[in-house]
Amino acid sequence: MTQNWIDVTARETVAEDDVVGIDVNGKDLALYSVSGEVFATDNICTHGHARLSDGFLDGCEIECPLHQGKFDIRNGKALCEPVNEDIRSYPVKIQDGRVFVDLGSFPTS
């Protein structure tokens, strides 16, 4: 797949053990920081229209605020009912204090 690294925000925007929602050219992403590492997934739950950035982060699991479905933020795996569809996750790299997310073939302009 084509790489498409996008500079999405400053590293300090994502506090440790926290999740933030960020708009990247119309795409709603959730960024997480756990153990000093940053992870990125789509922000809209695969079960309904809820933003995971409004949910509860517990280690590497994000709990959806609407029906408490959970995903593994490292790979997007759906972990429990009612979610049964994985959420898309994206490669992340940190460079010069900035967070870059590889959105692959997602059109960003």
Distances (CA, A) of 88 to 23, 38, 72: 15, 15, 11
Structure token digits, residue 2: 């084509």
**Which CB, 76 or 99, lies closer to ligand FES?**
76
Instruction: Check residue 45 for interaction with ligand FES (CB under 6 A).
Output: yes
Full DSSP string of 22-53: EEETTEEEEEEEETTEEEEEESB-SSSS-BGG
**Which CB, 53 or 100, lies closer to ligand FES?**
53
Instruction: Check residue 79 for interaction with ligand FES (CB under 6 A).
Output: no
**Which CB, 57 or 99, lies closer to ligand FES?**
57
Instruction: Check residue 48 for interaction with ligand FES (CB under 6 A).
Output: yes
Instruction: Check residue 83 for interaction with ligand FES (CB under 6 A).
Output: yes
